[in-house]
Structure 1
Amino acid sequence: MTAIDRTPADLLRSALAADPARPLVTFYDDATGERVELSVATFANWVAKTANLLQGELGAEPGERVALLLPAHWQTAVWLLACSSVGVVAQVGGDAGDADHVVAGPGQFEAGLACSGERVALSLAPLGRRFAQVPGGYVDYAVEVPGQGDVFRAYGPVDPESAALVVAGAEFSGGGVVERARGDAGALGLAGPGGRVLSGLSYDTWEGLSAGLYAALAAGGSVVLCRNLDLLGEDALAKRIESERVTSTAR
């Protein structure tokens, strides 16, 4: 994080310049046993590819709305930063009929068909597996994203004062996301680099998005993002907190 970071995408660029090898997002799904660890560099590469898909193949333009019908997941985090990179509004949940494009996961494909624009389906399966049969009306993210470029360049500068995020009915600019995330970092034990927060919160509130992504990014820390954490016993959770060197929790 630097003083000139004014959008979430800026925060990621600064993290990449500072220490590309450090962990940024470690994801667990306690329903499947999946564990994925993404360094800053690996995460940024996924973001670049996804932003290229969004801007190029899907034709998304700054100011358009992309409905993210997705749970708290490392691929959702990638899409949030890709939207920031392009300058489109990440609309977490909500009515897909109000969006220009939709990105949906299992259980949300029917709802996503309300969007008349481009639709992308994510299997959210371990190892990012492709669909055996792609849901009707969608393209498969796992098929489309690998061939995208590893470097992203927006067609124009992203305005930090423009809308960037809608969650739980509240709208935030890119600069507003950065400012709020910086304010949350201290309360989450992420006052400086090296802080590591474990979050079991969903992504359907600001608090979940901040604890599960934005605050760690703003503070130069990292997040252990846990899906289906309620399936993990307290003893197993204590072991995870110790093994992952967690400094604080949000659940």
Structure 2
Amino acid sequence: MNSSDRTPADLLRSALATDPARPLVTFYDDATGERVELSVATFANWVSKTANLLQGDLAAAPGDRLALLLPAHWQSAVWLLACSSVGVTVEIGGDPAGADLVVSGPDTLDAARACRGERVALALRPLGGRFPQPPEGFMDYAVEVPGQGDRFAPFAPVDPDESALVVGGMELSAAQLVARAGADAVERGLTPGSRLLSGLAYDSWDGLSAGLYAPLAAGGSVVLCRNLGKLSAEALEQRVKSERVTDKAM
């Protein structure tokens, strides 16, 4: 994290400039056995493609509000940084009826249909797979994102003092989010190279901080685990060892 970083997108750019090859997000789903590891460069590429989709195809602009109906998942992390890149406010678990756009997983499609704006659906299948049958009324993210550009430039500069995130009844500007993530990283003792294993959901600041923002601010990485409760104590211990975990949030 540099002193000039004032948005989550700034944090990602700093990470990319420092060490693009290092791991940033390692994702496990212990209900399916899925494991995905994304380097800073690979994660940033997904963010750029998603931001281009958001700004271009979905016509999103700074100040728009996006209801994010996704679990703790590597693709959720991508959407959080893509929204920051465009200047769109992410409302975690927000009301689709009051949002300009909605991004939904397969289990929340019925609720997401209340959105009168653009609707995007994620199958959350291994390797970012698409829906076998696209949900009616939704854009299938896995179909649309691969063809997007690998570089992103916002049409309008992102104001760090404007709203970036709403979670658990709390609203944060981009600058407030970055400051809070940096403070959390210091409190946890995270440093460059730290590996934080998180089994927390993305429905609270603590979950978002441990599962993305604090490791990013510290120059570390996250081992993001969905359905961690299905793992035995022995298997968890082995994962901590094999992934070189330095801290845990569970």
Question: What range is the shorter-chain TM-score in?
Answer: over 0.9
CA distance in 1, matches of 2:194, 2:130: 34
The offset of 1:105, in angstroms, is 0.1
2:21 alignment counterpart: 21
Question: SS where residue 123 of structure 1 aligns?
Answer: coil
RMSD (CA atoms)? 0.6
1:147 alignment counterpart: 147
1:99 aligns to 2:99 (yes or no): yes
Deviations 1:1-27 (A, max 9, x none): 111000000000000000000000000
CA distance in 2, matches of 1:105, 1:30: 17
Letter in 2 for 1:149: G
CA distance in 2, matches of 1:77, 1:219: 16
Structure 2: which 5+ residue stretches go unaligned? none
Question: SS where residue 5 of structure 2 aligns?
Answer: coil
Contact 1:198/1:246 (CA < 8 Å) preserved in 2? yes
TM-score (norm 2): 0.99
Question: SS where residue 102 of structure 1 aligns?
Answer: strand
The offset of 1:187, in angstroms, is 2.7
Equivalent residues in 2 for 1:72-221 (5 A)? 72-190=72-190, 192-221=191-220
Q: Taking every aligned residue pair, what percent have the same amino acid on both sides?
A: 70
Structure 1: which 5+ residue stretches go unaligned? none
1:5 aligns to 2:5 (yes or no): yes
Contact 1:188/1:211 (CA < 8 Å) preserved in 2? no
CA distance in 2, matches of 1:91, 1:50: 17
The offset of 1:106, in angstroms, is 1.5
Question: SS where residue 82 of structure 1 aligns?
Answer: helix
How many pairs were matched up?
A: 250
CA distance in 2, matches of 1:243, 1:112: 38
Deviations 1:89-146 (A, max 9, x none): 0111021111100000011000001110000000000011111111111010000000
Letter in 2 for 1:25: V
Question: SS where residue 218 of structure 1 aligns?
Answer: helix
Letter in 2 for 1:134: P
Letter in 2 for 1:4: S
Letter in 2 for 1:232: L
CA distance in 2, matches of 1:82, 1:119: 16
Question: SS where residue 207 of structure 1 aligns?
Answer: helix
2:248 alignment counterpart: 249
The offset of 1:167, in angstroms, is 0.6
1:237 aligns to 2:222 (yes or no): no
CA distance in 2, matches of 1:154, 1:61: 9
Question: SS where residue 201 of structure 1 aligns?
Answer: coil
The offset of 1:189, in angstroms, is 3.2
2:66 alignment counterpart: 66
Contact 1:69/1:104 (CA < 8 Å) preserved in 2? yes
Contact 1:181/1:210 (CA < 8 Å) preserved in 2? yes
The offset of 1:222, in angstroms, is 0.3
The offset of 1:186, in angstroms, is 2.3
Letter in 2 for 1:118: E
Question: SS where residue 38 of structure 1 aligns?
Answer: strand
CA distance in 1, matches of 2:98, 2:248: 34
Contact 1:189/1:247 (CA < 8 Å) preserved in 2? no
TM-score (norm 1): 0.99
